[in-house]
Amino acid sequence: MKKPILIVLHQEQSSPGRVGYELLKRGFPLDIRRPPLGDELPRTATHHSGMVVFGGPMSANDPDPWITDELRCIELFNKAEVPYLGLCLGAQMLCRVLGARVYKHPDEETEIGYYGLSPTDSGLALSRTCGVEWPAQVYHWHREGFDLPKGAELLAQGSSFPHQAFQLGPKGYGLQFHPEVTYAMICRWTVRAFERMNHKGAQAPDEHRAGWFRYDHAVKLWLDGFLDHWLRTN
């Protein structure tokens, strides 16, 4: 029996989406916790195969006690060298743990929809290891970016937010984008947070849906290869 993957979500209706499905398919139970709703986080990393922290509308800079506790848990898993994957807010929280800055775009730009992704030389090397190419367009939903943490290796870049993916040692990864989204999740997000479509740089809901049909196949192929590589580091 494989040890579970710790799944950290930040809203009552949040779902691990495709990432959760792919982990279950690979035989990993999911230990789902929602710290903003009062769920406690583990005090040791020994009982989990890995940790995945997903996104949310809050900021990694917020002063809420649960954010402090979540940063502590991320630091605990990082020091124990247990595989870590941070998606959007989860990547920004890892940056906070490592002392890097998380901040809004100076021109109030956002990335809400599908935007281009350019792998670095290190990212291309990872592609060869995983056996899959990076997708050219990926799904975003954020208004904050981050500086590259000390000791991290930049894997992919963007235009408005230059740091899109990084690796920390052999087992830690942060992604600014959302490879977990399904079509149903995109429909739900664009309805429940419709007001975000008015933010600078955000795409209209029909562009989100059209982008999923145009780009999602490449994202799924990449995620399959990436998760296999990430889990092999366990």
pLDDT, one tens digit per residue, over 5-45 is 999 999 999 999 999 999 999 999 999 999 999 999 999 99
Report pTM: 0.96
User: What is the CATH architecture of 5-232?
Assistant: 3-Layer(aba) Sandwich (3.40)
Tell me: the pLDDT tens digits for 199-234? 899 999 999 999 999 999 999 999 999 999 999 865
Residue carrying the six token digits 């799944």 = 7
Q: Is 68 within 8 Å of 41 (Cβ atoms)?
A: no
Angle, in degrees to the nearest 10, between helices 121-130 and 205-232: 70
Which helix (H) or strand (E) is 140 found in, with range? strand 137-142
Q: Could you tell me which residues come within 8 angstroms of residue 81 by beta carbon, excluding any fewer than 6 positions away? A: 169, 171
If we measure between CA atoms, which residue out of 114, 113, 115, 86 comes closest to residue 102?
Answer: 86
Residue carrying the six token digits 């040692």 = 169
Tell me the three state secondary structure of residue 3. coil
Tell me: the pLDDT tens digits for 133-156? 999 999 999 999 999 999 999 999
Tell me the three state secondary structure of residue 48. coil
Q: Where are the domains of the chain?
A: 5-232
